[in-house]
């Protein structure tokens, strides 16, 4: 079945540091890939998405590229801010499975001033 694997956390960075959060997936079909963010006390929000190979999703300075050859969708940001502190989930949606979302375990990012 479909699965998403995220790097172990938590991650603590200083403000303006470079961020990379690894995500790899296993899927039988051609999934769409997503990064969701959950700020403290709030629901999950879609951060960015990519629907086919080599697509790059971007939002709020975050980027991730759909790499079919390595089955990866790593999240990057060049300069993190304190306000980026949150839990980040990588997910995939398999169009052959009613577009259900399969999530990774999530990783907590804390950014120090």
Partner 1 sequence: GAVVSQHPSWVICKSGTSVKIECRSLDFQATTMFWYRQFPKQSLMLMATSNEGSKATYEQGVEKDKFLINHASLTLSTLTVTSAHPEDSSFYICSAREVGTSYEQYFGPGTRLTVT
By CB under 8 A, name the one of 74, 89, 109, 111 that touches partner 1.
89
Number of residues that bind partner 1 (CB under 8 A): 22
Residue pair 59/76 in contact (Cβ under 8 Å)? The answer is: no
Question: Which residue has tokens 């306000």?
Answer: 83
Which region, judged by CB under 8 A, interacts with partner 1, from 19-27, 45-53, 68-76, 77-85?
45-53
By CB under 8 A, name the one of 23, 35, 73, 104 that touches partner 1.
104
- Per CB under 8 A, contacts with partner 1 among 57-86 are none
Give me the residues paired with residue 29 across strands.
none
Q: Give the whole-angstrom CA distance, residue 13 versus residue 42.
A: 22
Q: Is 84 helix (H, G, I), strand (E, B) or coil?
A: helix
55 lines the binding site for partner 1 (CB under 8 A)? no
Q: Is 33 helix (H, G, I), strand (E, B) or coil?
A: strand
Write out the residues near partner 1 by the rule CB under 8 A: 4, 32, 36, 41-46, 49, 89, 93, 95, 98-106
């Amino acid at each position: 079945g479909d699965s998403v694997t995220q790097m172990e956390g938590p991650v603590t960075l200083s403000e303006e540091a470079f961020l990379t959060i690894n995500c790899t997936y296993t899927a039988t079909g051609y999934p769409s890939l997503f990064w969701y963010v959950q700020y403290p006390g709030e629901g999950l929000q879609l951060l960015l998405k990519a629907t086919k190979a080599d697509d790059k999703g971007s939002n709020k300075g975050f980027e991730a590229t759909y790499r079919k050859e390595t089955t990866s969708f790593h999240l990057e940001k060049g300069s993190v801010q304190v306000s980026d502190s949150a839990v980040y989930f990588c997910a995939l949606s398999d169009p052959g499975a009613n577009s259900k979302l399969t999530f990774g375990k999530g990783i907590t990012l804390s950014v120090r001033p």
